[in-house]
Amino acid sequence: MTRSLQAVAYRRSSTLESAADGRRLGLETSRGATPTGVQDHPRFFAGFLTSPRTAAAGLLAVADVAAARYYQPRLRASLDPVVTGNGDRLRFESFSGCGGVYARLDVLTQGLDGGEVGHGTTNVDVNNPLREALSRLGGDDPLHLRVGPEELAVTTLDGPVVEKKVPLPDRWLRGFAEAQVVAAGFDLRAALPADEAVRFLRGLPRADAARRAPAGPRWVVPVGRGLRPTTRAVPGAVCLPGPERLAALQRVLRYATALRVYGPAATGAAPAAAAWEVVLPGMRLTLTLSPDASRGFSGEGGVLEALAAEETAADAELVSVLLAWEPRVDVADLAAASGLTPERVRAALVRLGTSGQVGYDTAEAAYFHRELPYDAGRAERHNPRLRSARALVAAGAVALDGALATVTAEDGHAHRVRDEAGTLSCSCLWWARYRGGRGPCKHALAVRLVRRGAVVEAAGTSVAAGVCDE
C-alpha cells in the first residue's frame, strides 16, 4: 500500500482547563486554508458551547473513528480530525484508519453561544490526555471553546512545539473523495425518536459477536417507530454493513433526540453504504459506513468518470473560484454565476471532492465547501484504475467500432466493451464480478477516455498512443 508521511504541527497541545468562570477547551490548529490564503495556525472560533457534555461526547466519537481500524482492530490509527469553519457552524471530520468509516460532528449555530465562526479548514489536535479529560467532563459548568491559538501564543511563540508525523495511506485520501460521492446518492430512509434510537443502537452486536455471525450483508427495514432486522434487501430496506462499526455512536446516545438513516434504494442483494445520523441538541453526529467492513471507500470508483473527463476539469476550476466556505453549496446559484448547466456544476463538484474541496451533508442534501489540509491531489495521481486506463490509451490498446470497442490488455487478451445508452459494460472479470457496482473497469474507462478526447479516423482503427494521457 502506498503511503505518504503527513507532518502536522501545533503551537501547543490541546487542553481542557478549569477556570473561575467554568471550563476552557482549547483546540489547537495546524497549517490550513482560509479565505486569505494558507495560515500556519488559523483561529476559527472563541465562545461558549450550549451543550458542553454533548459536544465533548461528539468530539470523542469523531476521535474514536480517527483512531480505529475496524477491519484490523488490533492495529490502531493515529489521524487527527479535520475542523472546518463554515461561518455559521463548525464541522469536525475524521476517517477510520481502515478507510471504511467516515465520521462528522456538525456543531450548528444553536450549539454555539457567542463568538463568530471563521472560515477555513485545518487539522485539530485531539491527544490522549485531552481525550481522558473530555471523558471525565461532568456537571453543568459552562464550557468555553477556542478553536485555534490564543493571541498571546501567536505573538510570543516562535514556532511549533508539538509535531506529529503520520503515515497517510493513499487509499485514505481517495476514501474522503469517494464517501461524498456515495453520500450524494442517499435519501432519508428512516427516522426514529430518541427512545427507539437508543433501544436499536444498544441492541447492536459488539465486535466479537459480529465476527462470529454468519457472513454476508445485513439489512434493516423501518417498521412503525423503529427498525427491524431482515435477511433480505426488501423494498425500503437499508444495508447495515458491519454493525459493530457504529460503536462510536454509543458516546452520544444519552443526549440523542432522534436517529436518521440514509441510504440508496435497495436493489438486489448487493451490499450498500449507508449513513447513520444521531440528532443532538444543537449538533449532529453522522457515521457513513462503506458497503462492507473489509472494504474501504477508496475502491468504490464513483469519482472515476469525473476524473477522466477533461471538460469536467475545466468546469471544476471555474466552480472552485466561486466557492467561499459556504455551509450549503447551492447548485442553482453556482450554475447562474458560472454559466454552466446544473448537471455540469454537479459533475464539477464531484471532481472537486477528489481534491478535498467539498464534502456532502446528507441531513441537508447539499455539498459544503472545505479544503482538506493534505496533498489530496494524490487521489487522482494514484488511482490505480485511472492510471491503468490512461496507460492503455497511451499504448494504443483501444479500437472503436461503433457502439463496440476492443481493448487489448497488457497480456494480449482482448476485452469487448459495449456502450448501451451511455452505460459501458465489459467482458472482463472485474465487470462480471461487480456489474458496475464499483465504478467502471479500466477497459471501460479507457474507452470513455478515447470517446471523449480522441480523434478516430475510421471505425475499428486503434487510437494513437498518448491521445488522452493527460
Q: pLDDT 10s digit of each residue in the chain, 470 long?
A: 566 677 889 999 999 998 877 899 999 999 999 999 999 999 999 999 999 999 999 999 999 998 888 876 655 556 789 999 999 999 999 998 888 999 999 999 999 998 899 999 999 999 999 999 999 988 777 899 999 998 654 444 455 578 888 777 767 777 888 888 889 989 999 999 999 999 999 999 876 555 555 566 789 999 999 999 988 888 889 999 899 999 999 999 999 999 999 999 887 778 889 999 999 999 999 999 998 888 888 776 767 777 777 778 889 999 999 999 999 999 999 999 999 999 999 989 988 888 889 999 999 999 999 998 776 666 667 678 888 898 999 999 999 988 899 999 888 889 999 988 878 899 998 888 887 777 889 999 899 889 877 433 333 333 333 333 32
Each residue of 302-315: pLDDT tens digit? 677 777 777 788 89
Nearest to 124 by CA among 12, 267, 215: 12
pTM assigned to the model: 0.86
Each residue of 229-275: pLDDT tens digit? 988 888 889 999 899 999 999 999 999 999 999 999 887 778 889 99
Is 426:433 a contact under the CB 8 Å cutoff? no
The torsion of the CA quartet 133, 138, 142, 145, rounded to 10 degrees, works out to 30
List every span in the chain annotated with CATH 1.10.10.10.
304-379
Three-class SS state of 439: strand
- Looking at residue 433, what is its pLDDT? 83
- C-alpha dihedral sign at 289, 295, 297, 300: negative
- Looking at residue 2, what is its pLDDT? 60
Could you say which DSSP state residue 254 is in? G
List every span in the chain annotated with CATH 3.10.150.
181-296
Burial of 337 by CB count in 10 Å (0-12 exposed, 13-18 middle, 19+ buried)? middle
- Looking at residue 304, what is its pLDDT? 78
Residues 6+ apart with CB under 8 A from 142: 21, 22, 23, 48, 52
- Looking at residue 281, what is its pLDDT? 97
Is 372:179 a contact under the CB 8 Å cutoff? no
CATH number for the domain formed by residue range(s) 304-379 = 1.10.10.10
Rounded Cα distance, 384 and 379, in Å? 10
- Select the CATH number that applies to the domain covering 181-296 from these four: 3.30.1370, 3.10.150, 3.30.750, 2.30.29: 3.10.150
Is 392:386 a contact under the CB 8 Å cutoff? no
